[in-house]
């Protein structure tokens, strides 16, 4: 593991390496001894170059300076101590850059949080310390929602690592460690093919042996967890079945109207165009002189505001999953933090009611194609499902809680099934 870490680093090795025969300045020939062979293998493996060409009093180079980046070596003109004629003083010059500094990513759409590795204690603690009183003075729902997310997202970035999508398709039981070792093994293999380096080949074989054992252990652990939780976590079970049968949710090559689609971008754009054909914007609504507000037979429902209690209970009814819309906030977080978020979210909901305006960010959603039947490579054999932001989902839940009891007596059993009141609440206090 140390060798693989060094392979990806900038390296400089210098000093009297006690290989007097390495370089013969008279003939310029490399003398092949055991020491020279080892040094040559090391320099080839790490792609090191020997930069010192300053000879000593015996017309030899004893002090070797290896690096895998550009530098210059010159004879020093201002030695601090008396110079050893066998080891002349040298000046080494090279530039240094701070590779640890990473550019800040802008825009949440390029991030995907890995909540499985989140520091939930710090996350919940910092969310609990937020003060949302600034929302009370706002009347523009777009500004209010933006400021709400501006308060939450920095905490998410601090406490939740972002996902790094691995290149290539790996089975679901492969963990990050296995994937990283596979990448390192491939680098060693390329290095061996390029330089025929013995060290690279030995590292490749060692990693191949270790990976086989890790994959076997990971598979057994995954199988045990899937079988033990098949009742409580059926999604994981079906993910395992897909992985075993090598079934992808969307094939890499598809077709639409006899046109072949080979690139991911073309497939995504074609899905978008096809799904749009399912919707028609019609302006054929006819005006009528009939004014329903004058009809005494209609029992009107007037919702002036939402109560914090009903918003809290709607949040607690969310499923504790990792599902998140474009705002990147998963449903389990909304449910767990209902005590913290119910008050500010209620303020946002009431601004919507007061201004009759729904925030643009909550109109955004993620569309996922779901296979129906027939040829999997045909775009027309898929239907879209919409993954909306979880707070927009809570708003829908609250409206359903309030509206359904008012209209339930108008719905007959012959119209549709699966009709029920979501929560047994005393609704009079909320109207």
Q: What is the pLDDT of residues 378-395, one digit of tens each?
A: 999 999 988 999 999 999
Nearby residues of 74 by Cβ (< 8 Å), 6 or more positions away: 54, 90, 91, 93
- Higher confidence at residue 265 or residue 233? 265
- Higher confidence at residue 89 or residue 421? 89
- Asked if residue 62 lies in contact with residue 87, where contact means CB atoms within 8 angstroms, the answer is yes
What pLDDT, on a 0 to 100 scale, did the predictor assign at position 232? 77
Q: What are the tokens at 72?
A: 């210059």
Residue 110 has pLDDT above 70, yes or no: no
Q: What is the pTM (predicted TM-score) of this model?
A: 0.58
Domain membership of residue 237 (yes or no) is yes
Residue 129 has pLDDT above 90, yes or no: yes
Q: What are the tokens at 254?
A: 């598809």
Same structural domain for residues 133 and 187? no
CA distance 189 to 195: 10
Residue 39 has pLDDT above 50, yes or no: yes
CA distance 153 to 157: 6
Average pLDDT over residues 131-158: 94
Read off the pLDDT band of 150 (50, 70, 90).
very high
Residue 351 has pLDDT above 50, yes or no: yes
Domain membership of residue 294 (yes or no) is no
Same structural domain for residues 133 and 202? no
Read off the pLDDT band of 163 (50, 70, 90).
confident
Read off the pLDDT band of 168 (50, 70, 90).
low
268: three-class secondary structure by DSSP: helix
What pLDDT, on a 0 to 100 scale, did the predictor assign at position 3? 46
Max avg pLDDT among 10-24, 272-286, 369-383? 369-383
3 closest CA partner among 190, 195, 203, 191: 203
Same structural domain for residues 350 and 405? yes
Q: Strand 49-50 to strand 254-256: parallel, antiparallel, or no bridges (unpaired)? A: unpaired
Residue 21 has pLDDT above 70, yes or no: no
What pLDDT, on a 0 to 100 scale, did the predictor assign at position 216? 92
Residue 121 has pLDDT above 90, yes or no: yes
Same structural domain for residues 211 and 318? no
Residue 286 has pLDDT above 60, yes or no: no
Same structural domain for residues 239 and 373? no
Share of the chain above pLDDT 70, in %: 77
Read off the pLDDT band of 53 (50, 70, 90).
confident
Same structural domain for residues 146 and 181? no
Domain membership of residue 381 (yes or no) is yes
Nearby residues of 400 by Cβ (< 8 Å), 6 or more positions away: 422
Rg (CA), the chain: 33
Same structural domain for residues 126 and 274? yes
Domain membership of residue 170 (yes or no) is no
- Higher confidence at residue 18 or residue 262? 262
Phi, psi at 167, each rounded to 5° = -75, 135
Residue 51 has pLDDT above 90, yes or no: no
Last residue of a domain, one of 65, 93, 121: 93
- Asked if residue 61 lies in contact with residue 21, where contact means CB atoms within 8 angstroms, the answer is no
What pLDDT, on a 0 to 100 scale, did the predictor assign at position 5? 47
Domain membership of residue 103 (yes or no) is no
Last residue of a domain, one of 49, 64, 93: 93
Max avg pLDDT among 67-81, 283-297, 417-431? 67-81
What pLDDT, on a 0 to 100 scale, did the predictor assign at position 244? 67
Domain membership of residue 293 (yes or no) is no
What pLDDT, on a 0 to 100 scale, did the predictor assign at position 30? 46
Share of the chain above pLDDT 90, in %: 31
Average pLDDT over residues 245-272: 81
Max avg pLDDT among 154-163, 245-254, 330-339? 330-339
What pLDDT, on a 0 to 100 scale, did the predictor assign at position 26? 40
What pLDDT, on a 0 to 100 scale, did the predictor assign at position 145? 95
- For residues 241-264, one letter each, b for 16 or more C-beta atoms within 10 angstroms of the residue's C-beta and e for the rest, the string is eebeeeeeebeeebbbeeeebeee
- Higher confidence at residue 326 or residue 294? 326
What pLDDT, on a 0 to 100 scale, did the predictor assign at position 215? 92
Query: Domain tally for the chain?
Result: 3
- Higher confidence at residue 140 or residue 63? 140
Mean pLDDT score of the chain, rounded to an integer? 80
Residue 265 has pLDDT above 50, yes or no: yes
Same structural domain for residues 309 and 408? yes
* Range with the poorest average pLDDT among 14-23, 182-191, 263-272: 14-23
Parent domain of 196? 176-244
Domain membership of residue 49 (yes or no) is yes
Same structural domain for residues 239 and 259? no
Task: List alpha helices for 356-417, DSSP H.
Answer: 390-407
Read off the pLDDT band of 422 (50, 70, 90).
very low
Same structural domain for residues 266 and 392? yes
Domain membership of residue 367 (yes or no) is yes
Residue 31 has pLDDT above 90, yes or no: no
Average pLDDT over residues 367-377: 87
Residue 55 has pLDDT above 60, yes or no: yes
Same structural domain for residues 340 and 191? no
DSSP conformational letter for 303: -
- Higher confidence at residue 33 or residue 136? 136
* Cβ atoms within 10 Å of 395's Cβ, excluding its own: 23
Last residue of a domain, one of 35, 58, 93: 93
Same structural domain for residues 404 and 382? yes
Residue 85 has pLDDT above 90, yes or no: no
């Amino acid at each position: 593991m140390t060798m693989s870490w060094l392979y990806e680093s900038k390296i400089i090795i210098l000093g009297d390496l006690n290989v007097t025969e390495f370089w013969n300045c008279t003939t310029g020939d490399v003398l092949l001894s055991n020491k020279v062979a080892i040094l040559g293998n090391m320099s080839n493996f790490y792609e090191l170059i020997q930069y010192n060409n300053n000879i000593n009093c015996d017309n030899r180079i004893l002090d070797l300076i290896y690096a895998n980046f550009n530098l210059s070596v010159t004879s020093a003109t201002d030695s601090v101590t008396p110079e050893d004629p066998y080891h002349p003083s040298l000046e080494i010059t090279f530039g240094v850059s701070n590779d640890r500094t990473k550019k800040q990513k802008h825009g949440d759409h390029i991030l995907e949080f890995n909540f499985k590795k989140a520091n939930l204690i710090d996350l919940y603690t910092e969310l609990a310390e937020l003060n949302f009183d600034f929302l009370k003075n706002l009347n523009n729902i777009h500004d209010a929602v933006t400021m709400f997310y501006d308060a939450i997202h920095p905490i998410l970035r601090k406490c939740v690592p972002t996902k790094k999508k691995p290149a290539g398709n790996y089975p679901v039981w492969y963990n990050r460690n296995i994937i990283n070792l596979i990448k390192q093994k491939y680098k060693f293999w390329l290095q061996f093919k390029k330089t025929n380096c013995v060290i690279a080949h030995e590292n490749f074989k060692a990693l191949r042996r270790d990976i086989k054992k890790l994959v076997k252990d990971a598979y057994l652990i995954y199988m045990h967890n899937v079988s033990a939780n098949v009742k409580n976590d059926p999604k994981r079970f079906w993910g395992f079945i897909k992985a075993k049968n090598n079934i992808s949710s969307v094939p890499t090559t598809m077709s639409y109207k006899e046109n072949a689609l080979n690139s991911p971008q073309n497939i995504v754009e074609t899905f978008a165009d096809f799904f749009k054909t399912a919707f028609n914007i019609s302006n054929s609504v006819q005006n009528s002189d009939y004014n329903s507000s004058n009809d005494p037979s209609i029992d009107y429902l007037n919702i002036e505001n939402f109560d914090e209690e009903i918003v809290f209970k709607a949040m607690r009814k969310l499923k504790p999953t990792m599902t998140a819309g474009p705002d990147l906030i998963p449903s389990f977080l909304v449910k767990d933090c209902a005590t913290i978020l119910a008050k500010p979210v209620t303020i946002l909901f009431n601004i919507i009611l007061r201004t009759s305006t729904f925030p643009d960010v909550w109109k955004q959603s993620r569309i996922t194609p779901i296979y129906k039947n027939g040829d999997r490579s045909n775009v027309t054999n898929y239907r879209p499902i919409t993954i909306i932001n979880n707070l927009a989902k809570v708003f829908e839940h609250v409206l359903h809680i309030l509206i359904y009891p008012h209209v339930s007596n108008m719905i007959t059993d012959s119209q549709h099934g699966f009709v029920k009141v979501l929560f047994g609440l005393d609704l009079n206090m909320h109207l």
